[in-house]
Structures are given as structure tokens and as C-alpha cells.
Amino acid sequence: MLQTSMSVRPRTLICCYNMEGGSMNATYDESPRYSLSFTTGGLFAREADLIAPLYLQDRDWRAVRRTVTEENLLQTRTTSSRTLITREAIQRLSVLNNSELELIVEASLTERCHLMWVAACRRYELIGDFAEEVLRERFLLMTPTLSFDDFDQFITGKSLWHPELDDLKNSTRAKLRQNLFRMLREAGLLTEHGDIVPAVISERVLNLFQSHTPSDVRFLPTNLPTEVNPQ
């Protein structure tokens, strides 16, 4: 299997001088912990279509959460699943700016899926790192397949800087992997057989992605540059 390159954030060496003993102690400053709560729910593209218009009316996420939960707008069967899905969907939508949320409302399904994939990458640094360092990298290296083994190797490499990954139960790790691949399929970026699908990004979505620094294009399997050349 062709190995892809993986960027890692170096740990900072911190040296502390012991005034009493005259000794020097050295420790490593670990990277910020990954948030690992994306164990269920998929991409939330359908939920985004329902929730985004509510937010744009009053621009109050607390009010939106109350309305969605109390009226069961997502039509979930249980109160616990209603609370979980509503919270997770709103957390992802809240990382999008107003222009992106406005586009969610009128977007095609493909556009909405691309926006919600990028929202997941912004919300969860682990997903963003995987998208940039594995998904996009394998596509650019013309190794356009993705498997569970690629995810497991990615997690192993990241655990050197993120010890919280070593503490994951096998069942939790499997849920994270399964849901991440579900998101990729729902976003139209991966087939059921593990083939990476090139992202065909509309011009208006591309303009929004490239308005960020660094560009959110880095999260997608495409040959489009991640830097916009000045005119």
C-alpha cells in the first residue's frame, strides 16, 4: 500500500529550572485534545436544510435549539436522540458564517453536502486533519481509494501527539471510523466500495471556501489549488 504523507504538529519542549535543586526539567507540551463526539448522526445535510432557515430568521442558536427540540422538527423517536441530534447538527452549523448558512437554504443537494462536510471538518479537528492529510493526499497521489486501514494508520500516527486517542475503547474507535466513512459517502466523496470521488465544487461554494485562510478546499478531493492567486 502506498503510504501518504502526514503532517504533524511538533510538540513544544518546555524547560523549567528548579531553583532549589539547581536542576533543569524538560517536558513536552501536548497538542490540544481532539474532540471525539462524532459517533453518530452522519453528515446532517437533511437536518441542515430544516435548521438553517430557522437560524436566519432571528440569528439565535439557543432559540433554534429550543424550537427544534420542543416541536420535534427532526422527527426523532426518542427524547434522547432528539436532544443528541439537534445539539450535534447545531454545533456543526454554528461553525458556518452567515453567507454559508444563507447558501445552505438555497443550495443544491451536492452544494449542501459539500458545505456540511466542511462544517464537520471545522467542528472536529480530527476529521479536518484526516480530510487534508489522508483523503485529499491520496487523491492527489492518484491512489484514489480509502479503507478502514487508512483510518487506523492515521489514528496510530496521531496518537503520538494526542494521547487521548490511545485511551479510546475499541468500540468507540469503531464508531468514529464508521461514522466518518458514512459522512464521506453521504457527502458524495466516497463510494460504497471505497473509491474516492472527485469533488465537483460549484463556483459559489468554491468562492466561500476560498474566502477562508487557509482555504477550505484543503478538505476535499480535488485538484483545485488551496491558495487563490492574486489577480
pLDDT at residue 227 in the model: 75
Nearest-CA neighbor of 104 among 119, 115, 92, 88? 115
Which region among 53-62, 71-80, 140-149, 189-198 has the lowest average model confidence (pLDDT)? 71-80
pTM reported for the whole predicted model? 0.86
Whether pLDDT at 11 is above 50:
no
Model confidence at 25: pLDDT above 70: no
Cβ 168 vs Cβ 40: under 8 Å: no
pLDDT-above-90 percentage for the chain: 82
Q: CB–CB of 47/25 below 8 Å? A: no
- And the C-alpha cell for 201? 465544487
Residue 30 pLDDT? 58
Q: Greater confidence, 77 or 218?
A: 218
Query: Out of 25-34, 113-122, 175-184, which region has the weakest mean confidence (pLDDT)?
Result: 25-34
CATH code assigned to 108-231: 1.10.3540.10
Q: What is the pLDDT of residue 146?
A: 98
Q: How far is residue 226's CA from residue 216's CA, in Å, rounded to a whole number?
A: 7
Cell 467542528: give the residue.
123
For residue 8, what pLDDT band results from cuts at 50, 70 and 90? very low
pLDDT at 5 over 70: no
pLDDT averaged over the chain?
Answer: 88
Stretch(es) of the chain classified as CATH 1.10.3540.10: 108-231
Q: pLDDT band at residue 182, thresholds of 50, 70 and 90? A: very high
Alpha-carbon distance of 101 to 160, in angstroms, equals 36
